[in-house]
Each structure stands twice: as structure tokens, then as C-alpha cells.
Structure 1
Amino acid sequence: MKNEKVKVLNVTFDNLSHKKFMFQLMKCIKEEKKTFIVTANPEIVMYANTNQEYMRILKQVDYITADGIGIVKGSRMLGTPIIERVTGYDLMLDLFKEANQMKKKVYLLGAKQEVIEAVAKKLEKEYPGIDLAGYHNGYFDLTDKAIMNKVLGAEPDLLFVGIGFPRQEKWIQQYLEQADKGLAMGVGGAFDAYTGVVKRAPAIFIKLNLEWFYRLMKQPSRFKRMLVLPKFLIAVRKEKKKG
């Protein structure tokens, strides 16, 4: 299957539908191929353009999805439209379903202790076919070898890391350099959404691409972070003028 790529501000996205992403990811899992997925939004793209180490990581990963309507809009402005937004949260849920059917080992890393415990409990209830290899909260130092060895020893088929960028991508890179197999994906705050600690936007907001607005209403403290979107679109316009 041909995998078309689209570049937005020096970050290369895989231009696949959610369905085709899942098809390719399931193939990787079945073949026990080490796979690194990044779900990138405008904030991540802008950060990568100011941080060489992080950009270097992004250039080495296996898949980058457009997790953010801003990325899709930016690609259209550049004349290389991305098919659709593919969110990390939706990918995570579908990977849970597939892992359940295939009876695969899953490891969860991130969030507060009470949240990750709730995720584990919910996962075992909703997906009894999953072999929960372990879980740990996200409050640890990136250089903590005990955590790294614990996850490596569990040998998960799927690893979900929710400690926020750029930490989660840095940690996953270190992990995959040592692991023999496994699909690993940074999921940011997806564990909070999965347990309902943070409410996901209603379907109408998601359909109208206004999920960001709903989150801003619920969490006004995110305002400063949201300012990156207009900066991103201005940067895209400049990129377009360059040709």
C-alpha cells in the first residue's frame, strides 16, 4: 500500500485515513515490528521547529498523524491536503479493541496514580481479552532506569505513554532502542479523557472542528497554549509564500 506523505512546516505527516492507519498498524503488530507513532498537533509542530532534538526524533518515527484540525487546515493552505484528522484518542480506542480480539499484551504509562488505576480497571472490564502487562503513573524522571526496565521486562505488544510532549516521545525513543518488539504511541491526556476525568467535547463540537473551543471553555487556563494556533497559521502562510 502506497503511503503518501505531506510536509507541514518541516514535519512529515502520513496522509492516511483512520481506517488505513489502523490497517497498517495492525500489520505492524502482527509482524511484531517495532513501531513508533506520534500524533501531532500545531503545538507539537511549532515546538519541533524551535527544538532540534525533538525535530530529530520526529524525523525518525514510523508514523505521524494529523491530530488537530489546524494541521489539516494548514495542509490545505499549502495545497497538499491531508485526507482527514486522525486523533490519538480514537487510534488508542481502536487499538484497545484490536488488542482485545488478538489477546495482546498492553502496558499503560502516564497520568496521575488514581487515573492510571482507573484506566487499568476500565480496560480490564471493557476488554477482558487484553493481557494487561502492567501500568505506572506518569510522575517519574526520564532517566529512571527502574521504570524503563519494568516496561521492557513486561514485553508489551502495545505501549501507550501519556506524559505529554516532548517527554513522551523522548522516552519512547529510548524505550524502542532497547525493546525487541512493540507498537508505542504517545497519547498525551488521553487517559484522562478515557476515564472521564476530562470530558471530551460533545459530538457536535467534534463534527464542526470546534473541539479546541469546547476545551477552552472548560479549561480557560489553556488560553496561552491555544495562542499557538494563530502563530501556526501565520507560519504556514509564510511557508506558502516561499513556494
Structure 2
Amino acid sequence: MLNFKEVLGFHFVNNRMEELVSEVHSRINHAQKTFIVTANPEIITYAQANPYYEKILKSSNYIIPDGVGIILASKILGQHLQERLTGFDLMSRLLEISNKKNYKIYLLGTKPDIIDMTASNIKKTFPHIEIAGFHHGYFHNDQEIINEIKLSEPDIIFVGLGFPKQEKWISDNLHHFNKGLFIGIGGCLNIWAGVNKRAPKFMRDLNLEWLYRLIKEPTRSKRMLAIPIFLKRVFRQNLNKKEERTEIK
């Protein structure tokens, strides 16, 4: 059973990766439909300004803290989350399990000339995985994708359309399917394709993965503006909590 802690109104999974993987694996094994959000400060900040998107996040089965900013916020607000649970690490663990259990996966997202490489590299790394299908993210007809997924009946659907599109797509279409674990994994498909690289381990250990991505993708600078807004709201909420405690005394 997973535990949760509230950070800025969102209930985050408060467990180690092994516990999360065990819970998710059980749901896959029992064909339980599941929606996982991998949330960082940018996603939470966007959700706070967009009620519809906020509702989507809160309707998911699990929100995991993918972003050092979420962990920092939890500490400041006295809701210390156990560890950062990245979408890439969770995806990797799910691929390992699929390789052993012969689960079928479906890949949705990235560019037409990249998704093929993603599928090929995953198959090379995990030869026993059954890739039920894949499709690039530049589509206009949802029904074509829905029909393909329904026909192939994958156990796990990795959706890499970038936020907020990937979460909206999952939320809007989840009712069409009888089973499947749906997870928004952002740019992970590009990493598996070899187009982008993860930050070196020492930078990940120092919680500087965001800096590495900014250096490699300068166009992300506008999105990074969400971080100071996020932290400002965290400190404001913390101050309000302190003032409320003072008034009670």
C-alpha cells in the first residue's frame, strides 16, 4: 500500500521506488487501469493557473515527485517526501519488468523520425519485450491511435507528448480502454532514441539534472521561469502556516 503526502494541494506518492514499482506491477498484473502523472514544479505551477489541468492531475491514480523542486518544497512545508521518483527511472523499471513478464508496451510521442529509433533501442535492450505498437506525437486523429491501442491491448502505454498535452490526452481517452497503465513520460522517448542524453550520474546525485537539461536545451529557459514562481508559492504557504499556528497559540 502506498503512502501520500500533500504538497501545494497535490497528493504525492511518499514511497521508495521499489515500493512504487511493486504497487504498479500488481496493478498491471491484475489488468487495473492506471494513470500516473510524473510531476515537477513546472507542471504544478501550470496546474495552479489552469483549473481544468489541475482537475486532470488530481483525477490520476498516482502523482509522483519527478523534480528536485518538489522534494525541496515538501521539506519546506513539513511534508518531507522520501525520495525523488523520476519518470525515466520508473519507465526503465517498467521496461525491465515487461522484459521478464512479456508485458506488451505501446509508445506514443516524439517526432516521426525518432519514435522508430526509440522502439528499436528499447527492443535491443530488452529483447523479450513485445512492442504492441508505436506512433509519433504529430497526429490529428485521436481515433486512429485509440483503435490501434484497443486492438493491440498493451499492458503499458508510455505517452511522451510533453505536458500538458500528454496528461490531457490520457485523461480524455482513458475511458476508451479496459486495461493498461498510462504514464506521461515527457522527453524519455528521445533519451531512449539516443537523440537526447540524461545528465551524468554525478549531476543527478547533486540534483543538478535541471541545469544539465537547460545547458543542452537553452529553449527550456522560458519554462524554467516557472521554478521561481513555484518556490514563491511554497514560501508563501509556509509563512501562512506559521502565522496560523501563531494565531492559534
Quote the offset at 1:144 in angstroms.
Answer: 2.5
Segments of 4+ in structure 1 off by > 2 A?
A: none
- Partner SS, residue 168 of structure 1: helix
- 2: CA distance between counterparts of 1:173 and 1:34? 12
Q: Runs of 5+ in structure 1 lacking a partner?
A: none
Alignment of 1:76-91 (within 5 A): 76-91=75-90
- 1: CA distance between counterparts of 2:214 and 2:135? 29
TM-score, length-scaled by structure 1: 0.96
Kindly indicate whether the alpha-carbon contact (under 8 Å) linking 1:9 and 1:49 is maintained by their aligned counterparts in 2.
no
Post-superposition CA distance 1:75-111 (Å, at most 9, x none) = 0000010100000011001100100100011100000
Percent identity over paired residues: 45
Alignment of 1:33-112 (within 5 A): 33-112=32-111
The number of residue pairs the alignment matches comes to: 241
Kindly indicate whether the alpha-carbon contact (under 8 Å) linking 2:76 and 2:234 is maintained by their aligned counterparts in 1.
yes
- 1: CA distance between counterparts of 2:36 and 2:217? 27
Partner residue in 2 for 1:157 = 155
Kindly indicate whether the alpha-carbon contact (under 8 Å) linking 2:146 and 2:176 is maintained by their aligned counterparts in 1.
no
Partner residue in 1 for 2:245 = none
Query: Quick one: which of 204, 207, 210 aligns to 1:206?
Result: 204
- Partner SS, residue 132 of structure 2: strand
- 1: CA distance between counterparts of 2:73 and 2:190? 28
- 2: CA distance between counterparts of 1:158 and 1:175? 15
Q: Which amino acid aligns with 2:42?
A: E
- 2: CA distance between counterparts of 1:232 and 1:201? 23
Q: Runs of 5+ in structure 2 lacking a partner?
A: 242-249
**Aligned-residue CA RMSD (Å):** 1.1
Quote the offset at 1:194 in angstroms.
Answer: 1.5
Post-superposition CA distance 1:191-241 (Å, at most 9, x none) = 111222112111110000011111112222211111211111110011112
Kindly indicate whether the alpha-carbon contact (under 8 Å) linking 1:10 and 1:49 is maintained by their aligned counterparts in 2.
no
Alignment of 1:179-198 (within 5 A): 179-198=177-196
- 2: CA distance between counterparts of 1:196 and 1:121? 11
Larger radius of gyration: 2
Partner residue in 1 for 2:222 = 224
TM-score, length-scaled by structure 2: 0.94
- 1: CA distance between counterparts of 2:125 and 2:133? 16
Answer yes or no: is 1:6 the counterpart of 2:5.
yes
Q: Which amino acid aligns with 1:117?
A: D
